Structure 1
Amino acid sequence: MPPSQLKRLKASLREQGIIGPQQSKKQKKHNAQNGVTKEKRVHRTVALNGIREQFNPFEFKALSRKPKFEVTTEHAAKSVIRRPGVQKSQEEEMRRQAYLEEQQRRHKVGGIVDKRFGENDPSMTPEEKMLERFTREKQLRHKRSTFDLEDEDTPGELTHMGQSLSLDGPALVDDFDEKDLELSDADDHLSDEERQARKRRRSELEDEEDEEDDSGDRPERKKSKQEVMKELIAKSKLHKYERQAAKDDDEDLREQLDKEMPNIHELLRGIAPKRPTAPPADIPGMNPDRAALLNRTDKVKFDKEYDLRLRQMAQDKRSKPTEKSKTEEQVAEETARKLQVLEAKRLRRMQGAPESSDEEKEKGAEPDDEDEEDDFGLGDGIKIRPTMAELGVEDEDDFLIDDDLVASGSDAESVDDSDNEKENDSDDGEEDEFVKGLLTEEEAKRPEFLTGANAPIQEVEEPASNGINGDLAYRFNCPQSHDELLEITEGVNILDLPTVVQRIRALYHPKLRSENKGKLTKFSVSLVDHISYLANQEHGPPFVVLESIIRHIHSLAKTFPVEIANSFRRHLKELDTSRALSLTPGDLVLLTAVGTIFPTSDHFHQVVTPAVLTMGRYLGLKIPQILSDFATGAYLCTLCLQYQKLSKRYVPEVVNFIENALCALAPTKLAEIPGYFPYHDPKSSLRIESAPTSTRQLRFYDCVAQDLSEEEGELLKAAIVEMNLRLLDSAAETWKAKDAFTEVFVPALEIMRHLSSKKCRSKLAESTQKLLTKVSQKLTLLLSQARLARRPLELHHHRPLAIKTSIPKFEESFNPDRHYDPDKTRTEAAKLKKEHKREKKGAIRELRKDAKILATQSLREKKERDVAYEKKYKRLVAEIQGEEGREAKAYEREKDWRKKGKK
């Protein structure tokens, strides 16, 4: 059995001589004198360290691996020895210090420690603190070196060629120490004699210096400041003189060229200049006619050519001011002013008053101007491009100009004195062309709305006929409600209504007054109400008038979109709550206006979406009982298809209503209704009884219930059937790209086949039969194409993936214990997981160490608090006991004293 640790320790101490027999005093004294004791002390320390390392092998740990590359160097590589115990104790100490710092910072706000110099020193004033801080900062930034010129303690002195470079030496003189700068009051105010004497001396000195310079190569004398300034002034004057001379030369050259310019012009025109030299007719090779002209031999020909060129110059077209020079406000004011003049003339004509002398003068002056233009040969100019009317293109701000349509403009100034204070300004720049109206027929033939230098001058003349009756007013008040609009247009012919609207918009141009915007806002809302009102009248207006007003609303909607949209929404809400399944002509006109004013291709629109829902509700829920219901449904189907012209969204109610209408109006009833659409059979039979002799188109006012004769009823039925066939054709063209095209239009094809049968075909008109054949063929073709282009449903559509294969790789250092994965992604993921696991274990280990330190420090603090508490408790108990003992002894003494006193 090996010896114990204690025996081994004693043996090691004995072997090293640390313990042994005791020495006598004489030996100790002798060893101390010879230094043996000091050597033994050093040897003892080394021996003890060796014994510690020998008896604690876990305290020292060498590296498990050698260096990867063995490098031979001058110095041998030292073996690295780690001390886990020491490192562990250091880590624990560091954690303990961190814990103490954290405990000290606990319950403290802010982590900024003010370490500025003198901040916590109350004895220093703020000026002293700032001065000391500035000094410390300069000292820290200043880097001292051997050649620091500002360092007073630098040994030696900088020299150059044996001469000192110090500023204190006599060799260098400061510029401010020159003698010529030191002037006294007497020098500043010299007399004339002294100045002359100084000049003579200075000139003599300069002559001597020049002689010395010529005699020898001596360095130049340093110039004084006065000489330098004189030299600068002289140079400046020299440069100025040179510039002036160059300018004079240029002026002389320019004048010479100007003098020769007439001769150049004469040569260009073929006229001989006046020259004193010999005539150039003798020049060889010159044209004889030109030589004769230069010699002035053909005077008659020269005069004729002069007259010809003068006439050509007179016939050149004069420049005219363009519209670009006028702002929008100026154009609007001019338009309004012209309307005022026209209205004043109209009122004078109605009252029979004679025209004023100023007007007669103007009328008399106009022909003179025209004659003058004719004298100079001025005309309308070259027509650059055709007008919009000739192209047949119309816009909501670009109306065709007729005799009864004076103004195609938008807005201008109000001229009514009562309304002058209520007009508005607007930023709408798209109504400029609308304002440029008020053109006469003669001006309408010119290029319209030209800009730039080719723009025609817009001159407004009184039209030949003003309205239908020729007495239409030029000025109207701006109505603020529908009732006011009815009052204003009470005596106006319905065909003059677009002209009235145009003139109101021209008079109340938003650019003229700030109140006009509010007026036009209410006016636009009243126009929305008015189109519904007009369409609901017993004798409805022509569609031309309604279309013109809708185009005006479209133009106003660019400036007032919110107000007009809210007006349409109000009408749609009223329609939905009161008459959703019994629409009036006014409602149909409003729905038509919505489709032309607002974008119907939007996925969601605050006006279009409610309108589409309203039409879908009627088409889906209405059970037609009379022919006007079928006409209304056909009109709404047309509107739905127009709404979906761009977006091509499917509206199922449209196809369902068309199929219902064809089934209900078919001459014979179908044995079985094809498809799954809801079919509603009307209560009374509306089927076609006989083929009409003639056909007609479906009209708008067929949507109103009327008492029709049998012949008119048959014509209307045939018109409704033809209209539904056309709608079916348009719907197929619109939705032919849909995946469900086959399911939607197969029932329609079955219905058309039933109409093409012998029982039904004989009762249809010839035009209806031709249209039925055409639509059936087209629908059959589209259905066959849809079936060919249709693909079965599939979950995923991608190319088939090949089976993953791995090419074997030869590894030179193959290890069967190691895992080789050919998938790099999986390998990287495994490495990442392993690293994450290692980091997680390390983090847990660190947290445990922190928790251990926290527990140790908490226990230590608790023990210290307990010890302090116990000590305080014992001190207090001892004090109490001592006080009680003193009181008890005093009581005993008092008691004994009293007993003695009684005795």
Structure 2
Amino acid sequence: MPPSQLKRLKASLREQGLVGPQQSKKQRKQNAQNGVNKEKRVHKKAALEGIREQFNPFEFKLSGKPQKFEVTTSKPKEIGLVRRPGLAKGLTEERLAKAYELDMIRRRKVGGIVDKRFGENDPSMAPEEKMLERFTFEKQRHHKYSSAFDLEDDDAQGELTHMGKSLSLDGPAIVDDFDEGDLELSDAGDHPSDEEGQARKRRRSSAAGEGEEGADEDEQQLPERKKSKNEVMQEVIAKSKFHKYERQNAKDEDEDLREELDKELPNIHALLRGIAPRAPPAPAEIVPGMNPDRAALLSGADKTKFDKEYDLRLKQMVLDKRAKPTQRTKTEDEIIEEESRKLQELEAKRQRRMEGAPESGDEEDVGDMEVEEYDEDEFGLGSGINARPTMAELGVEDEDDFLIDDDLVASGSELELSDEEASSDEADEAEEEEDTDFLKGLLTEEESKRPEFLTGANAPIDETDLPVKNGVNGDLAYTFDCPESHKQLLEITKGIALLDLPTVVQRIRALYHPKLKAENKEKLGRFALSLIDHIFYLPNQPNRPPFSVLETLIRHIHSLSKTYTVAIANSFRGYLEDLHQSRSLSPTAGDLVILTAIGSIFPTSDHFHQVVTPAILSMGRYLGLKVPRSLSDYATGAYMCTLCLQYQRLSKRYVPEVVTFIENALCALAPTKLSKPPGSFPYHEPKTPVRIQNSTGSPRQLSLYDGVAQELSEEDEASLKAALLDTNLSLAEVAADTWTGKSSFLEIFEPVLKILQHLGTKSCQSRLSSNTQKRVTKLTQKFTLLLKSAQVARRPLELHHHRPLAIKTAIPKFEESFNPDKHYDVDRERVDAAKLRKEYKREKKGAIRELRKDAAVVARESLREKRERDEAYEKKYKRLVAEIQGEEGKEQKAYEREKEWRKKGRK
């Protein structure tokens, strides 16, 4: 068992000679004389230091890293570098503690100006204390040992003040503002120089001394002293005023010269007119070249006639026609209100004409009044630049165009629009930007890009002769009540022709515009819902309206949907729900119009839409589950295929039911039956024969009402079959163009190519029209090229055809001083990345270590401060308790003494 620390310490002290047998008095005396005690004292100190280090091995540490390379230097070679981690740690903690203390001082520092003056506005000081403190400060400030540049003196001594002004005799003298020297410089004619000003100041200062003569002698003997800041500033001010005075003099001279030139100006004018200059005439003298009337007036001749002529000209000036102000641009609200008022006036005149009542003379005068017309090129300005084409130039009737033009005025009416009204109408042709963009995109760009196959709402609109005059019969009303339900709408339009329905809707929207009244917004919202009911109601009636009327109503609903989006969307969703529940496989013409309106109003390219998505699902359900029984079912399916392709023209999402229905329709309409239907699509052979038997002329286009079940003649049935075949061929072409980029294009359209090849055989060609034969041949070539391109794009992956490449190898490098703990990597980037990761890890650990040290110092110092506060509080608390107890004990003893004294007194 090793010896204990105490035994080791005693052995070390004995070895160093620090402890041992006591010396005799003689030996101690000899050692003192020889100086052995002094050497022994030094040796003892070093020996004790060595023993302390020996018994505390954690106090010092040798350098762990040996010298890597041998170098020759002038410095002695350090074999083992001794470090003292304990001492370094203590110094670090001390440094951190000081930094924490400075930080706390900086945080607790309160900025602001410290008023070190005393005695003013201090009610707690008595007047005697104020006087004593002031006297003490004054004596300390003038003490001979005090210095203004003493850095050790932290407290800046204040000066005696009263209400913010200095009371010291050494301070600046109080001078009246009007006695300052700079005021003399601005008033005097001759500005004194700087030398005169300095001399005057010296004379003023010498007057307060012993006398002028002695002061002058001293000034002559003393050298020039350095100017003070106040004197320098006075000189700068004087120079500034002197330059200002010079500039003012130059300005006055220029003004005088200008006045002289103005006086000579009449002579210059006379020289320019070729008249010799004369001296200024006398008041009664007539100057040659003067106005004759003025000359006559000056001479006094015929003054009465001159006065009459003057009065006459003055009256003419009063009666002159004043310039008319240009017509200001009206606001949108004023335009809407004006158009509503015009409609009401026209309706009142129509009612009077129907009743046979005579019209007022004022209105006749207005109708017969001729307005002066100006030619647009009269002023050479031209017809102007059209910023954008109007709806009339595009050949489009705008549902938001509420202007009253000649077409909306009743025939035979004597009320004509004035030029001002016409100009306001032309200015109001520019609609809101979003509506115009919608109409342009709907009726110009899309119409030019529209393929020939489109049917129904998407087909080229048949040119229906809309009424040119005020309605079909010329007696259409101008004002209508705003219907708030479909029943009211039917009552209002009961006696109105179908072609007049767009005009009625347009006038209702103009009369009940939301900007006219606040309640019109709710009325138009209910009116929009009644329009949706009406476009569903009209196609289902025996008196079928033309599709141009339905399309105009759809455009009105589209315009209103920007304001009443939620209500209109919920109404469409209600119709879709009804279609899904009751007639999903037998839709009516009204359902097809609703689906058409959804595609025109809502964005069909959205991935999910609350209205469009249910509509696509409803159409997909019909196309996938419906087994066609008649030509009307094929017509309805072709219409829905058209709508699906129209929906997906931007997003290009694949709808498998569309291609399946097209393939079924082509197989069913083919003049001869295929031996085996190509592909894997479910083919349904209709019970009633629908194949084409005889060729017809050029096939017609399908319409919306071809989807309604009805009895057809043989000729109409053959025409409908040819139209269905031609439409499905067009649908197949558009579907291929839409989904040409799909990876499964080969599997989708390969059956279509086989069907086209079957239609191109001799057995089928003989029963088809020439146009259809050309179309089948063209489509067969097109699909062949598209499928070949898809086959090339779908080529499977192949191995490389070049020679095999050897695996990259590296000859191992022989390391003379190989170390298994060291990493040898030939990849330089990987080595650098490893070094960077290691350095980052080391720096992170170091940062965490420093943060922990700071946190430990903060915690320790906070605990120390808390303990000090607690100790101070406890000390104060105990002192107060002791004082209170002492007072209580004192009072109790006094009470007992008093009590004893009274007892003795009674005895």
- TM-score category, normalised to shorter length: 0.5 to 0.7
SS in structure 2 at match of 1:176: coil
Alignment of 1:126-525 (within 5 A): 149=149, 174-177=172-175, 275-277=273-275, 321=326, 325-364=329-368, 366-367=369-370, 369-370=371-372, 373=374, 382=383, 384-385=385-386, 387-392=390-395, 397=400, 429-430=432-433, 465-525=469-529
Alignment of 1:777-796 (within 5 A): 777-792=781-796
In 1, Cα distance between equivalents of 2:563 and 2:668: 47
Q: Determine if contact 1:397/1:433 at 8 Å carries over to the other structure.
A: no
SS in structure 2 at match of 1:680: coil
2:383 maps to a residue whose letter is I
Partner of 2:717: 713
Partner of 1:543: 547
Partner of 1:580: 584
Partner of 2:684: 680
In 2, Cα distance between equivalents of 1:822 and 1:664: 73
Q: Aligned pair in 2 of structure 1 residues 377, 803: CA closer, same or farther (>3 Å)?
A: same
Q: Aligned pair in 2 of structure 1 residues 406, 256: CA closer, same or farther (>3 Å)?
A: farther
1:89-119 CA-partner distances (Å, limit 9, x unpaired): 9979999xx9xxxxxxxxxxxxx9999799x
Q: Determine if contact 2:645/2:735 at 8 Å carries over to the other structure.
A: yes
SS in structure 2 at match of 1:685: coil
2:514 maps to a residue whose letter is P
In 2, Cα distance between equivalents of 1:212 and 1:549: 96
Q: Aligned pair in 2 of structure 1 residues 672, 588: CA closer, same or farther (>3 Å)?
A: same
1:351-381 CA-partner distances (Å, limit 9, x unpaired): 22222132133234x31x327x589968996
Partner of 2:779: 775
SS in structure 2 at match of 1:670: coil
In 1, Cα distance between equivalents of 2:650 and 2:407: 37
Q: Determine if contact 1:403/1:467 at 8 Å carries over to the other structure.
A: no
Alignment of 1:755-766 (within 5 A): 755-766=759-770
Q: Determine if contact 1:403/1:464 at 8 Å carries over to the other structure.
A: no
1:370 maps to a residue whose letter is E
1:176 maps to a residue whose letter is I
How far did residue 779 of structure 1 move? Answer: 2.2
1:141-192 CA-partner distances (Å, limit 9, x unpaired): xxxxx985587969xxxxxxxxxxxx9998x76152569769xxxxxxxxxx
Structure 1 gap ranges (5+) = 99-111, 119-126, 132-145, 155-166, 183-198, 264-272, 279-317, 408-427, 435-462, 847-903
Q: Aligned pair in 2 of structure 1 residues 342, 801: CA closer, same or farther (>3 Å)?
A: farther
1:528 maps to a residue whose letter is I
In 2, Cα distance between equivalents of 1:683 and 1:654: 22
Q: Aligned pair in 2 of structure 1 residues 321, 700: CA closer, same or farther (>3 Å)?
A: farther
Say whether 1:22 aligns with 2:26.
no
In 1, Cα distance between equivalents of 2:782 and 2:190: 122
Q: Aligned pair in 2 of structure 1 residues 237, 726: CA closer, same or farther (>3 Å)?
A: same
How far did residue 674 of structure 1 move? Answer: 0.7
2:554 maps to a residue whose letter is I
Deviates more, 1:558-567 or 1:468-477: 558-567
Q: Determine if contact 2:400/2:506 at 8 Å carries over to the other structure.
A: no
Structure 2 gap ranges (5+) = 97-103, 111-120, 126-145, 155-165, 205-230, 277-322, 411-430, 438-466, 851-907
Partner of 1:46: 46
How far did residue 787 of structure 1 move? Answer: 2.6
Match of 1:605 among 601, 606, 609: 609
Partner of 1:530: 534
Q: Determine if contact 1:60/1:81 at 8 Å carries over to the other structure.
A: no
Q: Determine if contact 2:377/2:383 at 8 Å carries over to the other structure.
A: no
1:382 maps to a residue whose letter is S
1:860-879 CA-partner distances (Å, limit 9, x unpaired): xxxxxxxxxxxxxxxxxxxx
In 2, Cα distance between equivalents of 1:465 and 1:58: 114
In 2, Cα distance between equivalents of 1:479 and 1:254: 84
SS in structure 1 at match of 2:174: helix
Q: Determine if contact 1:340/1:474 at 8 Å carries over to the other structure.
A: yes
Q: Aligned pair in 2 of structure 1 residues 180, 69: CA closer, same or farther (>3 Å)?
A: farther
SS in structure 1 at match of 2:742: coil
Q: Aligned pair in 2 of structure 1 residues 91, 636: CA closer, same or farther (>3 Å)?
A: same
1:665 maps to a residue whose letter is L
1:24 maps to a residue whose letter is S
In 2, Cα distance between equivalents of 1:560 and 1:9: 101
SS in structure 2 at match of 1:370: coil
In 2, Cα distance between equivalents of 1:496 and 1:18: 132
1:523-579 CA-partner distances (Å, limit 9, x unpaired): 112111111111111121111211111111122223332222222222112111111
Say whether 1:749 aligns with 2:753.
yes
In 1, Cα distance between equivalents of 2:191 and 2:593: 111
Say whether 1:655 aligns with 2:655.
no
Q: Determine if contact 1:333/1:512 at 8 Å carries over to the other structure.
A: yes
In 2, Cα distance between equivalents of 1:526 and 1:767: 44
In 2, Cα distance between equivalents of 1:797 and 1:675: 34
In 1, Cα distance between equivalents of 2:201 and 2:106: 64
Q: Determine if contact 2:376/2:383 at 8 Å carries over to the other structure.
A: no
In 1, Cα distance between equivalents of 2:674 and 2:519: 65
Alpha-carbon RMSD: 6.0
Deviates more, 1:665-674 or 1:699-708: 665-674
Alignment of 1:615-634 (within 5 A): 615-634=619-638
Q: Determine if contact 1:63/1:81 at 8 Å carries over to the other structure.
A: yes
2:508 maps to a residue whose letter is I
1:407-441 CA-partner distances (Å, limit 9, x unpaired): 9xxxxxxxxxxxxxxxxxxxx9448979xxxxxxx
In 2, Cα distance between equivalents of 1:207 and 1:761: 123
How far did residue 487 of structure 1 move? Answer: 1.5
How far did residue 649 of structure 1 move? Answer: 2.2
Q: Aligned pair in 2 of structure 1 residues 81, 688: CA closer, same or farther (>3 Å)?
A: closer
1:389 maps to a residue whose letter is A
1:23 maps to a residue whose letter is Q
Q: Determine if contact 1:389/1:400 at 8 Å carries over to the other structure.
A: no
Q: Determine if contact 2:584/2:618 at 8 Å carries over to the other structure.
A: yes
How far did residue 68 of structure 1 move? Answer: 6.9
2:44 maps to a residue whose letter is R
Q: Aligned pair in 2 of structure 1 residues 380, 20: CA closer, same or farther (>3 Å)?
A: closer
Q: Determine if contact 1:691/1:765 at 8 Å carries over to the other structure.
A: yes
Partner of 1:740: 744
In 2, Cα distance between equivalents of 1:568 and 1:209: 97
Partner of 2:859: none
1:623 maps to a residue whose letter is V
Q: Determine if contact 2:435/2:559 at 8 Å carries over to the other structure.
A: no
In 1, Cα distance between equivalents of 2:594 and 2:549: 14
Q: Aligned pair in 2 of structure 1 residues 253, 823: CA closer, same or farther (>3 Å)?
A: farther
In 2, Cα distance between equivalents of 1:603 and 1:464: 44
Q: Aligned pair in 2 of structure 1 residues 600, 718: CA closer, same or farther (>3 Å)?
A: same
1:713 maps to a residue whose letter is E
In 2, Cα distance between equivalents of 1:232 and 1:23: 101
Q: Determine if contact 2:670/2:692 at 8 Å carries over to the other structure.
A: yes
Partner of 1:562: 566
Number of equivalences: 667
